[in-house]
């Protein structure tokens, strides 16, 4: 499968980003690993899921540029 970068916090380098998975209706989010156990407990994640933290500005930009 291939990825298409939709939006990111920076133009080059590694930073929070959102990618579309080509040929699907799914996306992958790159962000900061959530390691605060209280936050993870509050989310009640199943064993096969994880959580990342991304800036709200990235979500707003994604909505403006790709979901409007």
pLDDT digits (tens, 9 = 90+) for 39-51: 999 999 999 999 9
Nearest-CA neighbor of 2 among 26, 20, 29? 20
- With a CB cutoff of 8 Å and minimum separation 6, the contacts of 52 are 16, 29, 30, 31, 32, 33, 34
What does the pLDDT read at residue 6?
Answer: 94
Per-residue pLDDT of the chain (68 residues; tens, 9 = 90+): 899 999 999 987 789 999 999 999 999 999 999 999 999 999 999 999 999 999 999 999 999 999 87
Mean pLDDT, all residues of the chain = 94
């Amino acid at each position: 499968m291939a990825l298409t970068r939709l939006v990111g916090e920076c133009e080059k380098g590694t930073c929070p980003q959102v990618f579309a998975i080509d040929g699907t209706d799914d996306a992958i989010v790159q962000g900061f690993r959530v390691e605060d156990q209280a936050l993870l407990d509050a989310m009640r994640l199943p064993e096969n899921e994880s959580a990342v933290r991304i800036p709200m500005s990235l979500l707003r930009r994604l909505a403006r540029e790709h979901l409007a």
